[in-house]
Amino acid sequence: MILSSAAPAARSTDRFGASWEGRRVLVIGLGRSGSAAARWLHQVHAHVCITEARDTEATRQAAQELRALGIEDIELGAHSRALVDGADAVIVSPGVPESAEPIHWIVERGVPLLSEVELAFRFCPSPIVAITGTNGKSTAVMLLADVLRAAGRPAIACGNVGIPFCHVLPQLTSETVAVVEVSSFQLMGCETFRPKVGVLLNIGTNHLDRHRDPAAYLEAKARLFQRQTPEDWAVLNGADPHLVALGESLRAQRVWFGDNRSNSSAFILAPQTQRALAPGAQAVLQAARILGVADPLAWQVMRAFRGLEHRMEFVGTVHGVQYVNDSKSTTPDSLLFALKRTPGPVVVILGGRDKGMDFHSVITPLHDARVKGIVLIGESRARIRPLLNGSTIVHECGSLAEAVRTAGTLAEPGTTVLFSPACASFDMFKNFEERGRAFKRVVQQL
């Protein structure tokens, strides 16, 4: 009797000693992270209600699963004000825009607004490494988790990489390390979130449709470090002057990576290390050092690391031409990043759903002599084409299969065909994963 009542009571209490038992918590959005948050809240005996604007098969199925666990109050297809009015706290999914109606109601009523990451943080017994940035987050998270595991520290990769932070909470102990990928949207609702190590990889102009201006975006990213104390660590990209400036204002110990010859701070990487590793890998190395993993071991793991699917994934060589799948690229910044990481002559396949992004940043790099061909696909091709005026190497294709074949004819042996769409996939595919798999299938049939 005593045992059974003592254990759950401890779980209902978060790191600040507050009990969540019986508290009314509203979860907005029933995506992966929303569902995970709802499940965790249910486990800590909070009274969970859920509201989701979309009423689709996917959301109905998610609702079904949660009802089976005993979560009753689930609203699909609309948001009703009554739910917000009765809530003690609200968890917002990263997919919900700041302009959504319930967000206004919440701000109006002054209900505490938390992100899923913030919720998980309040219950997380492990030291946390949080990685954010515009590009290369997922790879860095997976790589760091690999390095830590190789060093005998059980590490769990979670967050945006696929498994929500809340979902892995039951597996975490004080011995494990939580390596969390955090997007800037999730940082919006992070009031007390304080990672032991915060990593900011880079700042691009990505997601500007959601963030009004770059300064605000930078500020959103800087929230990662807001609650840190001098016992915590901030790993920053020293090559970016914005981040060097940001570093000045942080309370955490600052550690640097990235090429910047004039950086004379403490905790920078030796020049030979900077030359040998990509910036993302340098960041992982620095974070691993902080967590007590020695350099030789980290290097060993990095050399063996194969990379992630759809992120600069090497597909194969056909007639001397290398095919690279970077379907994860949904912004011009990602395309820039991919171009930088591709050596030698290159044929680029890009295009997809037009999110209204500004493509001017990629125009100059696409006019580079090293770009031997540009193949446009999808809805956005009509908008990109005029920007590339004067270029004789631009081709338009109606399907991905045709695009890959066209790219193959443009590419001489030794060239890389880079599939980095710089646009969302929803015009032709369900998601970027499906798009990437389609690309790989076509390449394999060549």
Partner 1 sequence: MTPRRLRQLLLVIITALLGLGIVAVYSSSAMASEATYGGSVHFIVNHLVSIALGLAIGGICLMIPYDRLRMSGRWMLLASVVLLVLVDCFGQEVGGARRWFRIGRLSLQPSEFAQLSLVIYLADLLARRSANLKELWRGLMPPLLITGMTAGLVLIQPDLGTTIAMGAVALLLLAVAKARWQHLAWVVGLASIALIFLIAGEEYRRRRILAFLDPWADPQGSGYQILQSYFAMADGGLMGRGVGASLQKLFFLPSAHTDFIFAIIGEELGLVGTTAVIALFGLFLACGFRIALAAQDLFSKYLVCGLVGMLGLEAMVNMAVVTGMLPTKGLPLPLISYGGTSMIMNLIACALIFQASRHAERFDPTQSALGR
**CA gap 193, 118 in Å, rounded:** 6
**For residue 299, what is the enclosing H or E element?**
helix 295-304
Nearer to partner 1, 143 or 362 (CB): 143
- Binding to partner 1 (CB under 8 A) within 171-190 occurs at none
- Binding to partner 1 (CB under 8 A) within 252-281 occurs at 253, 260-271, 274
**CA gap 358, 246 in Å, rounded:** 26
Q: Which residues pair with 323 in a beta bridge?
A: 316, 417
Nearer to partner 1, 61 or 265 (CB): 265
Residue 43 and residue 65 in contact, taking contact as beta carbons nearer than 8 Å:
no
Crossing angle of helices 57-69 and 32-43, rounded to 10°: 10
Interface stretch with partner 1, choices 194-202, 292-300, 317-325, 366-374 (CB under 8 A): 292-300
Minimal distance, residue 268 CB to partner 1, in Å: 6
**CA gap 385, 128 in Å, rounded:** 45
Q: Which of 300, 336, 283 is nearest to 140 (CA)?
A: 283
Instruction: Determine, following the binding rule CB under 8 A, whether residue 199 of this chain makes contact with partner 1.
Output: no
Minimal distance, residue 300 CB to partner 1, in Å: 9
Instruction: Determine, following the binding rule CB under 8 A, whether residue 296 of this chain makes contact with partner 1.
Output: yes
Read off the DSSP letter of residue 205: S
Nearer to partner 1, 28 or 177 (CB): 177
Instruction: Determine, following the binding rule CB under 8 A, whether residue 292 of this chain makes contact with partner 1.
Output: yes
Which tokens hold the place of 182? 């955090």
Q: Which residues pair with 235 in a beta bridge?
A: 199, 255
**CA gap 11, 19 in Å, rounded:** 9
Minimal distance, residue 128 CB to partner 1, in Å: 19
Residue 336 and residue 273 in contact, taking contact as beta carbons nearer than 8 Å:
no
Q: Which residues pair with 363 in a beta bridge?
A: none
The residue within the footprint of partner 1, chosen from 289, 341, 355, 437 (CB under 8 A), is 289
Interface stretch with partner 1, choices 164-172, 289-297, 344-352, 399-407 (CB under 8 A): 289-297
Minimal distance, residue 341 CB to partner 1, in Å: 22
Nearer to partner 1, 1 or 270 (CB): 270
**CA gap 155, 178 in Å, rounded:** 6
The residue within the footprint of partner 1, chosen from 295, 358, 368, 412 (CB under 8 A), is 295
Tally Cβ neighbours within 10 Å of residue 304: 9
Residue 196 and residue 127 in contact, taking contact as beta carbons nearer than 8 Å:
yes
Minimal distance, residue 265 CB to partner 1, in Å: 8
The residue within the footprint of partner 1, chosen from 293, 324, 397, 442 (CB under 8 A), is 293
Minimal distance, residue 178 CB to partner 1, in Å: 21
Instruction: Determine, following the binding rule CB under 8 A, whether residue 297 of this chain makes contact with partner 1.
Output: yes
Minimal distance, residue 271 CB to partner 1, in Å: 5
Instruction: Determine, following the binding rule CB under 8 A, whether residue 235 of this chain makes contact with partner 1.
Output: no
Residue 346 and residue 336 in contact, taking contact as beta carbons nearer than 8 Å:
no
Residue 407 and residue 344 in contact, taking contact as beta carbons nearer than 8 Å:
no
Nearer to partner 1, 166 or 290 (CB): 290
Minimal distance, residue 267 CB to partner 1, in Å: 5
Q: Which of 234, 246, 36 is nearest to 132 (CA)?
A: 234
β-strands 24-28, 313-318 pairing: unpaired
Nearer to partner 1, 99 or 272 (CB): 272
Nearer to partner 1, 271 or 320 (CB): 271
Minimal distance, residue 172 CB to partner 1, in Å: 24
Tally Cβ neighbours within 10 Å of residue 357: 22
- Could you tell me the CA-to-CA distances from 423 to 204, 223, 233, 426 in Å, in that order? 15, 27, 34, 9
Number of residues that bind partner 1 (CB under 8 A): 22
**CA gap 221, 168 in Å, rounded:** 23
The residue within the footprint of partner 1, chosen from 106, 180, 222, 290 (CB under 8 A), is 290
Instruction: Determine, following the binding rule CB under 8 A, whether residue 17 of this chain makes contact with partner 1.
Output: no
The amino acid occupying position 55 is: D
Nearer to partner 1, 292 or 390 (CB): 292
Instruction: Determine, following the binding rule CB under 8 A, whether residue 237 of this chain makes contact with partner 1.
Output: no
Minimal distance, residue 187 CB to partner 1, in Å: 26
Instruction: Determine, following the binding rule CB under 8 A, whether residue 42 of this chain makes contact with partner 1.
Output: no
Instruction: Determine, following the binding rule CB under 8 A, whether residue 251 of this chain makes contact with partner 1.
Output: no
**CA gap 332, 205 in Å, rounded:** 9
Which positions lie near partner 1, rule CB under 8 A? 253, 260-271, 274, 289-290, 292-297
